[in-house]
Amino acid sequence: MNTNAVKPHISLNVRNLAASLAFYEKMLAMKATKVRPGYAKFDVQNPPLNLAMNEVPSLGANTTLSHLGIQVASTDDVLNVRQQWAEAGLGPREEMQTECCYAKQDKAWVHDPDGNEWEVFVVLADSAKMGGEAGCCTTDGQCATA
């Protein structure tokens, strides 16, 4: 991409905006920058992210989304975010020194109210293995989280 991209944008369909808003305020440790009927937006500065949510109460169980992630610079950053999530009551789980998606990584995971998985991760090294344990993408590209 040969542009001056400002930040990634993710738009999620959610069943219950209030529940999702409460979850993401805890996960991101900030208030939404815009809340309207059926819509909320977070303008995260670090890491840069434009996260929007649209309420779709009849949202089905099927989705093409595998998982969402925030890449950080170090294992200490992973552990700091994991601690923040734990203190916010989000029940994170961690995977340290895991081989996933052809990389050795340290990571932590949480689920939002609609079951979307978020990971915070650092890439430690390249790997010749795809992975496939709980919490990693399988060879068919699906997330195999427990």
- Which pLDDT score is estimated for 5? 54
| Chain segment 33-78, per-residue pLDDT in tens | 999 999 999 999 988 998 989 888 887 766 657 789 888 889 999 9
- Which pLDDT score is estimated for 101? 75
The helix (run of H) or strand (run of E) holding residue 52 is strand 49-55
Residues 143, 141: Cα–Cα separation, whole Å: 7
| Chain segment 89-101, per-residue pLDDT in tens | 999 999 999 988 7
